[in-house]
Structure 1
Amino acid sequence: MTTFTYPIDDRLSLAFPQLNAAEKLFSLIESDRPHIEAFIADIAETKTLEAEKNFIKMKLHGYAEGTDYLFFIVYDETICGCIDIHNIDQKIGKGEIGYWLHSSYTKRGIVTKCVQALCGLAFKDFGLNKLLIFVDVENAPSNRVAQKVGFTLTSTEPQDVLLFGKLRDMNHYTLLKEHYKKGSDE
């Protein structure tokens, strides 16, 4: 892969998105759709390669505007998921983290390491002061990720997201720059 990467460890990195990876990313989603879309409405709506290309274009435009930072999660030089900061408000210095990972890569600490790294980038390089993660109350692994990285559960919002025609309750987590605990490698 010839793109800018941010190494996390010997096997794991974040890669700046490129449009020519859309087909690979879409194939990854299609190969694991029930797992990936279980808690993410945007993925559930991405049903074609063209929709995936448009998503990447939208995120690249958001990068140029300062409202989005999307990265591919790369493990052993293979794209296995995505992580981003979206809905960035530069005036307030806050943004929301979202991510997904192919099920064949779960239970390895990959997402926890990626969220930790992205928090470091957000606070040190992107000038943000506050990060949010919104997690379906039934998504135990993602709730654990937020807690492991040091986010504080600030509220549980009933019927906060519509997914497959059902209103879902969401846990809202917050991490302020002043409370961020840097990883051992920083």
Structure 2
Amino acid sequence: MRHDRDVLNAADELSAGPVRLRRWRAADADALYRAVRESIEHLAPWMPWAAQGYSTSDAETYIAGTDERWGTDHDYAIIAQVDTVVGGCSMMARIGPGGFEIGYWVHPGHTRRGYATGAAAALAEEAFRIGADRVEIVHDAANVASGAIPRRLGFTEVDRRPPQEELTAGEVGLDVVWRLRAPASPVV
């Protein structure tokens, strides 16, 4: 994976099947806060950042941080219908050189519509476009819904390990790691 900042700069918007992904904007803070607040019971068992509640200030701080991290990590709003924030997703450069970990969440009122699957597929494609050789999705073994997405997209389960982050109430303490390798370049 190249380390030239321009090469690592992902697109600001991505097509994701039934939704589009858009880089977070400061103006999204209220929509993010509302989506998380309405999803807190759905998110808290799996997301350490949601386990203690979520405030407007948390949303503003998160969105400001996405600008600071852009070029290393790439965070997007998942947008459906007419500019409605229905979740969030990220490509995080925390699995070592050449790779991105993909994460996602969707408001419970918008699950089972292909939004997280579309978002993960678009992020994987974008990661490979900007030079990644692999992407991974990591979830707790108890989070069966999250595990269905990498399986559906052709990822391979490569590991089960103790969690590397704070354990939340819904987790059993066993992370499942899924990996997808970049498609081979055609021989010219």
TM range (shorter): 0.7 to 0.9
Q: Indicate the percent of aligned positions where both proteins have the same amino acid.
A: 22
Q: What SS is found at the alignment partner of 2:183?
A: helix
Q: What SS is found at the alignment partner of 1:6?
A: strand
- TM-superposed CA distance for 1:33, in Å, is 0.4
Q: Which residue of 1 aligns with 2:162?
A: 158
Q: Which residue of 2 aligns with 1:98?
A: 103
Count of matched residue positions in the alignment of Structure 1 and Structure 2? 171
Residue 36 of structure 2 contacts residue 54 of structure 2 at CA under 8 Å; is this kept in 1? no
1: distance between equivalents of 2:182 and 2:15? 21
2: distance between equivalents of 1:95 and 1:8? 18
- Residue type of the partner of 2:24? P
Q: Which residue of 1 aligns with 2:13?
A: 5
Question: Does 2:70 match 1:70?
Answer: no
Q: What SS is found at the alignment partner of 1:133?
A: strand
What are the Cα deviations for residues 11-38 of structure 1, in whole angstroms up to 9, with x where unaligned?
4111111011111101111112010222
Q: TM-score, normalised by structure 1?
A: 0.83
Q: What SS is found at the alignment partner of 1:60?
A: helix
Q: Which residue of 2 aligns with 1:80?
A: 86
Gaps of 5+ in 1: 180-186
Q: Which residue of 1 aligns with 2:35?
A: 28
Matches within 5 A, 1:1-186: 5-9=13-17, 11-45=18-52, 47-63=54-70, 66-77=71-82, 78-88=84-94, 92-124=97-129, 126-164=130-168, 168-178=173-183
Q: What SS is found at the alignment partner of 2:72?
A: coil
Return structure 1 stretches of 4+ with deviation > 2 angstroms.
Answer: 4-9, 42-47, 158-167
- Residue type of the partner of 1:16? R
2: distance between equivalents of 1:12 and 1:131? 21
- Measured on the aligned residues, the alpha-carbon RMSD in Å equals 2.1
Gaps of 5+ in 2: 1-11
Residue 160 of structure 1 contacts residue 168 of structure 1 at CA under 8 Å; is this kept in 2? no
- TM-superposed CA distance for 1:50, in Å, is 1.1
